[in-house]
Amino acid sequence: MTDIAFQHPFDDDKLHEECGVFGVFGNVEAAALTALGLHALQHRGQEACGIVSFDNTQFHSHRSIGRVGDNFGDEAVIAGLAGHCAIGHNRYSTSGEPALRNVQPLFADLGHGGLAIAHNGNLTNAQTLRNELVSRGSIFQSTMDSEVIIHLTATSRQARIVDRLTDALRQVVGAYSLVVLTSKKLIGVRDPMGIRPLVLGRLDEAYILASETCALEIIGAEFVREIDPGEMVVVDEDGITSHRPFPTHPRRFCIFEHVYFARPDSIFDDRSVYEARKRIGAELAKESHAPADLVIPIPDSGTPAALGYAQQVGLPFELGIIRNHYIGRTFIEPTDQIRHLGVRLKHSANAPLVKGKRIVLVDDSIVRGTTSTKIVTMMREAGASEVHMRIASPPTAHSCYYGVDTPERSKLLAARYDLAEMARLIGVDTLAFVSIDGLYRAMGETSRNEGQPQYCDACFTGDYPLALVDRDGGQETQLSLLNERR
């Protein structure tokens, strides 16, 4: 089966998060709580979802293509996932083809018991490791990068599961936030740079792990703290323990979580995502405001930045673009030409508002530029006298290899054209992006620390914090560094 270019049901020209993870230990409604948590994390992946539970005797699993509400809305399905502990996963895939065998959590019966694993992120040496494992006799069930973690755990010579998993993770390079379920433990692990998010919560006696705090809110759980980069937390009948089995690295959390991926009501690093987005909009306005009558968000992801922009310059914030929320995922649009036709199904101009007005359109990012071009044309046809576009991130000129679905570099508008050419192609009077330092200022930093950047920002800068082993081959890898330090 080849990879089908599924279109995101909400935004067809956006980067897409690959996955959301959730885990519960110590609640009789573990599977129902997990389904709710996955529902709150639906924005992180709509292609497929799954839950694995354990009932003190056996594991139960339900994995399906489609969204959480379609697969876990049935009481009988939840009833079939008995037990006081469960993990779940939402998937939007770039690694592996979109088939049921790739839907997580992955489960394997290892020599010492069952192991279920849900992974958010992407391993940059997965193919290299897979080739080695296959040459030693491993038989893979999926095409997922995450499966190498299971095989490495299975073949570890350590005795305890925590040590076996540690052994496996010391061999991988890449971004990962994992939730793992065994017959006795719920384990949460974050990669040494903390590129992808993972938070810890508490609901009465139960411990919860989730990609974002919005998934704690939905079940009424209390936010305890973020899992630290390189930390492994182990929850069992005796409580929770924290381990630091990996060499320490400076934190490099994905800055795009703040720009676009995370839900605006989530909190990372004591920072509200919503407030961060408003501050990015304010920085953008300080750097590049154009005289105009109205500030208009490109819905929905441009909305908080547009609010911040409008408040900064004291202009009216108006809904000049109305979005149709009921598109569903019926559109499989394999070519750019057909993709062009889709935009008007999703967005309409509020023509009486924009007619004769100079407008500033605010969006979070430009990927291919196809949606931006159509929206600008729509605004001009609706009678806008000037159209200025402001983007609440620096130009996206590089692909992500750490768990975000990015087009190849040759398809990224900013990788192909300079600012003036992009403005001409999109059809705007002026175009500006927030600067990289403006983005960091919005995060509460004075600027990007060039020597040791505070975030992963590789899709803007090309400064990849982790080696791209499968892509580049032969380079010194984090693996070799880790092995040296062991």
Given the rule CB under 6 A, which residues bind ligand SF4? 195, 254-256, 400, 402, 404, 456-459
Rounded Cα–Cα distance for residues 231 and 257 (Å): 20
Structure tokens at 284: 């953008």
CB of 256 to ligand SF4, least distance (A): 4
The vertex-261 CA angle with 281 and 42, nearest 5°, equals 135
Q: Which two tokens stand for residue 217?
A: 């809110």
Nearest one of 243, 471, 469 to 479, comparing CA atoms: 469
Residue 22: half-sphere exposure toward Cβ, Cα within 13 Å: 37
> CB 354 → ligand SF4: shortest distance, Å?
32
CA separation for the pair 212, 21 (Å, rounded): 9
301 annotated among ligand-binding-site residues: yes
The yes-or-no answer on residue 19 being catalytic is yes
Identify the burial level of 337 via C-beta atoms within 10 angstroms of its C-beta, where 0-12 means exposed, 13-18 middle and 19 or more buried.
exposed
Residue 56 neighbours by CB distance under 10 Å: 10
To the nearest whole angstrom, how small is the minimum distance from the Cβ of residue 18 to ligand SF4? 10
Of 200 and 400, which has the nearer Cβ to ligand SF4?
400
Tokens (6 digits) for 445: 């930093």
**Across the strands, what pairs with 5?**
none
CB of 253 to ligand SF4, least distance (A): 8
Q: Are strands 294-297 and 358-363 parallel, antiparallel or unpaired?
A: parallel
Q: Which residues contact 307 (CB under 8 A, 6 or more apart)?
A: 278, 281, 297, 317
CB-CB contact of 456 with 465 (8 Å):
yes
CA distance 196 to 19: 10
Per the residue annotation, which of 19, 49, 85, 214 is the catalytic one?
Answer: 19
Least distance to ligand SF4, CB of residue 448, Å: 12
| Minimum gap (Å) between residue 457 Cβ and ligand SF4 | 5
Residue 103 contacts residue 146 (beta carbons within 8 Å) = no
Q: Is 400 annotated as a binding residue?
A: yes
**25 vs 261, beta carbon nearer ligand SF4:** 261
CA 231 – CA 176 distance, rounded (Å)? 11
CB of 193 to ligand SF4, least distance (A): 10
Nearer to ligand SF4, 189 or 456 (CB): 456
49 annotated to a ligand binding site: no
What does each C-alpha distance from 224 to 46, 119, 195, 212, 238 come to in angstroms?
27, 21, 20, 12, 18
Is 364 within any annotated ligand binding site?
yes
Listing DSSP states for 65-104 in one string gives ES-HHHHH-SHHHHHTS-SSEEEEEEE--SSS-SSGGGPS
Q: Which residues are annotated as a binding site for [4Fe-4S] cluster?
A: 254, 400, 456, 459
Catalytic residues: 19
Q: Which residues are annotated as a binding site for Mg(2+)?
A: 301, 363-364
Q: Which residues are annotated as a binding site?
A: 254, 301, 363-364, 400, 456, 459
